[in-house]
Amino acid sequence: MKPQFIGRRSFGLTLSLLLLIALLGSGCMAVIMDFPFQRGIRVKTTMNLVDNPTAPNVPIPNVPNFGDMASLRDDLSGTRTGTDTHVQGTTNQFGHSTYPNAITKADWALHVGPSVSPPCFQNTFVEVVPAAGAIFEFFCNV
């Protein structure tokens, strides 16, 4: 009886562990990992069907983006966050690149693209990032 009991307990624990790993490693974890935007800068890359505006937009992964802070803006309200004056990355499976440490209350020049699939040329944003941060969305209309 005893060896069988241990075997069942081991089996149960292993199953639980596998469940945990599966949960954390699957889409559930992925959803959790892609935190909602908190501060700094987020780049979003989205595909949009021009001839079917009601179709849901689709995120575009693997889009390169980078940018530099141009100047600080002390005329804006709120508390400045972040320390990074340069950001660089590629969008994740949700079409996001998030830079929480990008300096806010500043002017930024941000380059997004080109996207390969679908093929859209690079776009440059020159915009103000307020204390609460900013989201830059790049729509590739196909």
Binding site for another protein (CB under 8 A): 5, 8-9, 12-13, 15-17, 19-20, 23, 28, 32, 35-39, 42, 49-53, 78, 112-113, 115, 118-121, 123, 125, 127-142
Toward another protein, which CB reaches closer, 85 or 107? 107
> With 0-12 CB in 10 A as exposed, 13-18 as middle and 19+ as buried, what is 34?
middle
- Give yes or no for a contact between 28 and 62, defined as CB atoms under 8 angstroms apart: no
Closest distance of CB 85 from another protein, Å? 18
- Pairing relationship of beta strands 64-72 and 106-112 according to DSSP bridges: antiparallel
Toward another protein, which CB reaches closer, 72 or 128? 128
Give me the half-sphere count of Cα atoms (radius 13 Å) on the Cβ side of residue 42.
Answer: 17
Q: For residue 55, give the DSSP letter.
A: S
Closest distance of CB 86 from another protein, Å? 19
Closest distance of CB 11 from another protein, Å? 8
Toward another protein, which CB reaches closer, 33 or 88? 33
Closest distance of CB 88 from another protein, Å? 18
Toward another protein, which CB reaches closer, 62 or 137? 137
Q: In what order do the strands lie in the sheet with 86-90?
A: 86-90, 64-72, 106-112, 123-129
